[in-house]
Amino acid sequence: MTEMNRISEEALGTVIGGAIRTVQNTSVGYANIREEPGENSKVISKVYNGEKLETTGETCKKGGYVWYRVHLASGSDDAWVAGSLIGY
């Protein structure tokens, strides 16, 4: 498997509108998808390394992270993921 490129928080911040991003958290192998931005927000789903997420273009800075609003495949309300866990 080829190594994915990690996208910087600065570069992600320049995305206008939605973009498809790949989860890449090498420490645990997944990203928690949260109800609201922030590490203390309720985890509503997990997306595993290599799976794709669609960002909406909306961001929020909280707790030292830039959080990205994402569309959920289930069609339910949008949720949030820490930008450090997604790449190209």
pLDDT at residue 2 tops 50: no
64-82 pLDDT, tens per residue?
A: 999 999 988 766 678 999 9
Strands (E), 1-88: 19-23, 30-34, 43-48, 52-62, 65-71, 79-82, 86-87
- pLDDT for position 42: 96
Q: Residue 60 maps to which CATH number?
A: 2.30.30.40
pTM: 0.76
Tell whether 3 is covered by a domain: no
Give per-residue pLDDT as tens, 39-65: 999 999 999 999 998 998 899 999 999
Establish if 29 belongs to a structural domain. yes
Tell how many helices (H) and how many strands (E) occur in the chain.
Answer: 1, 7
- What is the domain extent for residue 65? 9-87
| pLDDT over 70 percentage in the chain | 76
Q: Does a structural domain hold residue 2? A: no
Q: How far apart are CA 28 and CA 46, in angstroms?
A: 11
Number of domains in the chain: 1
